[in-house]
Structure 1
C-alpha cells in the first residue's frame, strides 16, 4: 500500500525543515513538489503552465488546488503516483484543512497527518530569516490557518509538534516512529 505524510501548519512552522530532517533519517521520505503556476520561488516546486493545469483538471487529476500569494499550487494525482514510486514516502505540505480532506479522500494511501504549530510571533521572526519578501502575507496566512484549524475542531492528527519547542530531528523521529508502527506493511 502507498504511504505518505501530510504536514499541516501555518507559514514558517517548519514544514521544509522537518521534511529535510525526515529525509536525513530515511531516504524514502521525499518532499512532494507541488505543481506551481505563477511566479516567485521555484525551488521545491514543479513549475507548470495554465495549459498544464487545464489538462489536469479536464482529466480529473487535480486532487487539491490552492490559490495564494498570487499563484496556484496543485497537488495532482500523477505527481503523487510518481512521488510514491519505488516505496518512497512523499511529505506533502498543506496549510488548509480542505486540502487535508481532499488528499486523504481522493488519493487512497496510508496518510500520517501531522499538525506543525508555532506562535504567530515565531512566523514573524522566521519568515524574513528564510528570505521571504512578503512576510505580511505570510502573517495573514498564519491568521487564516489558525481560523481554519479552529473551524475544524474534530480534525484528527497522528501527531502535533510545537516547532518552537521541538528540535527538527526529534520531530522527524517521532513522525518516523508513527509511520513505522502504523504502516500497513508492519
Structure 2
C-alpha cells in the first residue's frame, strides 16, 4: 500500500528543514513538490501555468488547491502518484486543514499526519533568516493557521512537534518511528 507524510503547520514551523532531515535519514522519503502557479520562490515547487491547472481540473486531478501570497498551490493526483513510485514516501507540506482533509479523503494511501508548531515570535525570527521578503504576510498566515487549527480541534494527529524545542533530527526520527510502526504490511 502507498504511504505518505502530511506536515501541517504555520510558516517557518520547520516543514522544509524536517523534510530535509527525513530525506537524510532514509532515501525512501522524498519532498513532494506542489505545483505552483505564480511568482516568487521556485525552489521546491513544480512551476506551472494557468493552462496546466485548467487541464488538471478538467480531468479531476486536483486533490487540493489554495491561494496564498498571490499564488496558487496545488496537490495533484499525477504528482502524488509519481512521488510514490518505487515505494517512495512523499512528504507533503500543508498549511490548511482543508488540504489535510482533502488529501486523506481523495488520495488513498496510508497517511501519517504530523502537526508542526512554533510560536509567532519564532516565525517572525525565522522568516527573514530563510530569505523571505514578505514576513508580514507570513505572520498573517501564522494567524490564519492558528485560527484554522482552533476551528478543527477534532483533527487527529499521529504526532505533534513543537519546533521551538525539538531539533529537526529529533522530529525526523520521531516521524520515521511512527511511519515504520504504522506501515501497512504487504
TM (normalized to structure 1)? 0.99
Task: Note the residue ranges of structure 2 that are not aligned, 5 or more in a row.
Answer: none
Deviations 1:138-186 (A, max 9, x none): 0000000000000001000000000010011010000000000000028
Cα displacement string for residues 32-67 of structure 1 (whole angstroms, at most 9, x for unaligned residues) = 000000000000000000000000000000000010
Unpaired runs of at least 5, structure 1: none
Could you give the per-residue CA deviations for residues 115-142 of structure 1, whole angstroms, max 9, x where no partner exists? Answer: 0000000000000000000000000000
Matches within 5 A, 1:1-186: 1-185=1-185
Give the Cα separation in 2 of the matches to 1:44 and 1:143.
Answer: 24
Distance 2:144 2:158 in 1: 22
Q: Secondary structure at the match of 2:7?
A: strand
CA distance in 2, matches of 1:180, 1:121: 34
Separation in 2, partners of 1:86, 1:183:
15
CA RMSD of aligned residues (A): 0.6
Aligned pairs, number: 186
